[in-house]
Structure 1
Amino acid sequence: MIKRRVHVAAAAIFSDDGGEVLLARRPSTVDQGGLWEFPGGKLAPYETGFEALKRELHEELGLSIERAQPLIRVHHEYADKHILLDVWQVHAFGGEPYGREGQAVRWVPLGELFNYPFPAANLPILRAVMLPTEYLITAEEPDDAAFLTKLERALKEDGIRLVQLRAKTLDEAAYLTRAEKALALCHSYNASLLLNAEPETLEQVDADGVHLTSERLMTLERRPVAQDKWLSASTHDAAQLEQAARIGCDFVTLSPLRTTPTHPDATPLGWHDFQQLVEPAGMPVFALGGMTRHDANHARAVGAQGIASIRDFWR
C-alpha cells in the first residue's frame, strides 16, 4: 500500500524573553485528538512552507508573522502516512494569539514541555526548541585558571548556553577536576555542560550529558545515558547519522563542512552535501568545521540547528 504523503508547516513561537513557547491542543474530533502540538497546518497546492505557515497562523491564532527562520524538518512514518513537518522558529509576530477555531492555546515554559503529550513526530521538534543555536567546544588548555577565564568570557559576553568539555590532553583525574569546575561555572550562567568522555563518567560528575566520538558512537547498541541527560555525537556521514538516530541521540554535530587546520586532510562536505545529509536525519544537527557566527544564518537556512565551533567561540 502506498502511504499518503502529508506536508505540514508548523511554528515554534517564542515569548519575548525566549523562556516560553506557544502550544495548541488538537481537537478531540481529529486524528491524535487531545494531544498538544506546535501550531500550523497542511500546505495548500503550490504553497511553500513559509506561505502556509503565515496563512495557518493567521487563520488559527490571529497572528501575522513579522520574522521567522527555519528550525528543523522532520520526516516521520505513521502506519497510514508519511508526514513531513516543516518547522519554523518565529522570532517576531503581530497580534495576541488565541484559538480562533475554538482550540486551547497555552504559553508553556521550555522546562515543562516534556510534561505535555505530543504526537510522536514532534519529539525532534521538542529537542530543537530546547537547544540553543550555538554549541561551544572547548579548546585544549593546560591551565585550569586560563580555561575558566575563557569559559566565563564565552558564557558571560557571548551568551553561550551549550558547552562540550573536550580536553584530550588531560589525564582522567585532571579531566574530572576540570569538569566539576566547568559544571559549576556553566550552571551559574544557566548553561548546559556535556562531557566528551565515556558515558560512565556521569557517575563521577553529574553533568548535563555526554558527547560521543564517532568511534564510540559506532560501537553502541543502545542509548548509554538516561533520558533526562543530553546525548550528542560527532558524525561525518550518513551511516553515522543513522546510528545516532538508532541509539536515540538528542542531537549531533556533522563535520567537516570546511577544511580546518586541525583536520587538513579531511574532505569537506560543503553546504550542498551537508543539506542532503541533514534533511533525513530526524534530529537537530549542528554544522561543524570552519564555522563562524557569520555562517549561522546560512547554516539555519540549509536545515542546521546552528553552528558548533572551537576557534570562533574560544578566544
Structure 2
Amino acid sequence: MHVMAGVLVDGAGRILIAQRPPGKHLAGMWEFPGGKLEPGEAPLAALERELDEELGIAVDPLSFVDLIRVPWNYGERAMLLEAVVVRAWSGEPRALDAAAIAWRLPHDIDPAMLAPADRPILAALWLPEHYPITPADASVATASTLVRAALARGERLVQWRLPGVAQDDARAGAAALLPEVARFGAQLMLSRDIDGARQLGTGVQLSSVQLRELTERPLPLGQLVGASCHDPDELALASTLGCDFATLSPVDATQSHPDAPPLGWPRFAKWAENASLPVYALGGLGPADLAVAKMHAAQGVAGISAFCA
C-alpha cells in the first residue's frame, strides 16, 4: 500500500499534525495528513487530492519537496509511506477527516504521540544535514575544543567518540560540554556508552555489535538513538529497535578503515531508500559531499577529519 503524507510547514516553522479518529487503526494517535493512492493515481496527485479531502485546502505542487520514504509493516499490513514537505496552499486547514489538527514546532512534538510509521518523518524534519564525529585519537581537551568550534559554526548534532580515553574521563568531558550544547540547541551523542547517556540525558550512537545484541530501544523516546550500520540487515535491525537514525558506511575509502571496501553512491542510495529511518552517509565524506548525498537518499553527511579542520 502506497501512502502519501503531507508535511505542511507554515511561516513560523510549525508543522501540522492530525489525530486519527475513533474507529480507525491506531485511533487517537497523531500523524501527518494524507492517504493512500487510488488505482492508477500518481503519487503527487494523490497527495493533492488527500489534502483537499482531509483539510479542505488546495496545495501548490511547486512548493513540494521530497523528505523521506518509509517502508513500514503494521503486522501483516505492508506500506510505503512517502512524506513530502508542503509550504504553499490556499484555504485554512480544517479537521475534515481527523479528530483534531494542531500546529506544532518540530522539537515540541513528542514522538510517542505519533503513529510509529510517522516517527521517522519527524526525525527527518529536525535532524540536521551534518553529523560531525570527534577524532578517535583526540584527548578530552582537544575533542572539547573541536565540539565548541563545531557548535559555533552551526553544527547541531555531534558524536562524542573517544575510544582511547577512559570511560569516566570521557563522560566527565561530555558532562562539562552539555551546558554549551544546550545553549546552542544542539544534541551530543555518546559513542557506545548507553549507561553514560542515561546518566547525562544525552543521545547514544550504537555500534553494529550493540545493535545485534540489544532486544529493545536502550533510551526513552526523546533521547536520540543512532546506529552505526554497514548493510541492509543492520539498517533493518536499527529500525526494529526503534533507533531515530543510522549512519551507513563506508561510502568512500577512509583513512581509518583502508581495508573496508567502499559502498559507492548507487549501493548507498538503494539501501538508504529501503531503510525505515533517516540515514547519514559516512566514510571519506565531508560537508562538500552534502549535495551528492542528498541526491542519493541521505539525510546528510557524517564524518571525522573533514569536519574537524
> Which TM-score tier does this pair reach, normalised by the shorter chain?
0.7 to 0.9
Q: Classify the secondary structure of the residue corresponding to 1:312.
A: helix
Answering whether residue 119 of structure 2 is matched by residue 120 of structure 1, we say: no
The one-letter code matched in structure 2 to 1:265 is D
Structure 2 residue aligned with 1:303: 297
Pick the aligned partner of 2:84 from 85, 88, 94. Answer: 88
Query: What is the Cα deviation at residue 33 of structure 1?
Result: 5.2
With normalisation by structure 2, the TM-score equals 0.85
Answering whether residue 188 of structure 2 is matched by residue 193 of structure 1, we say: yes
Answering whether residue 127 of structure 2 is matched by residue 131 of structure 1, we say: yes
Contact 1:66 1:94 in 2 (8 A): no
Query: What is the Cα deviation at residue 304 of structure 1?
Result: 2.3
Answering whether residue 269 of structure 2 is matched by residue 275 of structure 1, we say: yes
Name whichever of 159-168 and 277-286 sits farther off.
Answer: 277-286
Q: Classify the secondary structure of the residue corresponding to 1:265.
A: coil
**Structure 1 Cα separation of the partners of residues 235 and 64 of structure 2:** 27
Structure 1 residue aligned with 2:43: 49
Inter-CA distance 201–88: structure 2 relative to 1 (3 Å threshold): same
Contact 1:74 1:121 in 2 (8 A): yes
The one-letter code matched in structure 2 to 1:74 is V
Contact 2:139 2:165 in 1 (8 A): no
Structure 2 residue aligned with 1:217: 211
The one-letter code matched in structure 1 to 2:294 is R
**Structure 2 Cα separation of the partners of residues 165 and 33 of structure 1:** 39
Contact 2:111 2:222 in 1 (8 A): no
CA RMSD of aligned residues (A): 2.9
Contact 2:280 2:299 in 1 (8 A): yes
Query: What is the Cα deviation at residue 233 of structure 1?
Result: 1.5
Runs of 4+ in 1 over 6 A off after TM superposition: none
**Structure 1 Cα separation of the partners of residues 237 and 76 of structure 2:** 25
The one-letter code matched in structure 1 to 2:84 is W
Answering whether residue 106 of structure 2 is matched by residue 110 of structure 1, we say: yes
Name whichever of 242-251 and 231-240 sits farther off.
Answer: 242-251
Q: Classify the secondary structure of the residue corresponding to 2:143.
A: helix
Inter-CA distance 143–238: structure 2 relative to 1 (3 Å threshold): closer
The one-letter code matched in structure 1 to 2:131 is Y
Query: What is the Cα deviation at residue 31 of structure 1?
Result: 5.2
Query: What is the Cα deviation at residue 102 of structure 1?
Result: 6.5
Inter-CA distance 85–105: structure 2 relative to 1 (3 Å threshold): same
Contact 2:139 2:162 in 1 (8 A): no
Structure 1 residue aligned with 2:175: 180
Contact 2:273 2:297 in 1 (8 A): yes
Inter-CA distance 46–25: structure 2 relative to 1 (3 Å threshold): same
CA deviations on 1:262-294 (whole Å, 9 max, x unpaired) are: 222211112221122223322221111122334
CA deviations on 1:126-146 (whole Å, 9 max, x unpaired) are: 333332232121224645554
With normalisation by structure 1, the TM-score equals 0.83
Structure 2 residue aligned with 1:237: 231
Inter-CA distance 69–99: structure 2 relative to 1 (3 Å threshold): same
Inter-CA distance 35–180: structure 2 relative to 1 (3 Å threshold): closer
**Structure 1 Cα separation of the partners of residues 17 and 234 of structure 2:** 33
Listed as ranges, the gaps of 5+ residues in structure 1 are 1-5
Query: What is the Cα deviation at residue 86 of structure 1?
Result: 0.6
Query: What is the Cα deviation at residue 296 of structure 1?
Result: 2.6
**Structure 2 Cα separation of the partners of residues 221 and 24 of structure 1:** 31
CA deviations on 1:163-186 (whole Å, 9 max, x unpaired) are: 110112222233123212232221
**Structure 1 Cα separation of the partners of residues 28 and 166 of structure 2:** 52
**Structure 1 Cα separation of the partners of residues 289 and 135 of structure 2:** 20
Query: What is the Cα deviation at residue 113 of structure 1?
Result: 1.9
**Structure 2 Cα separation of the partners of residues 154 and 17 of structure 1:** 26
Q: Percent identity?
A: 36
Contact 2:20 2:29 in 1 (8 A): yes
Q: Classify the secondary structure of the residue corresponding to 2:306.
A: coil
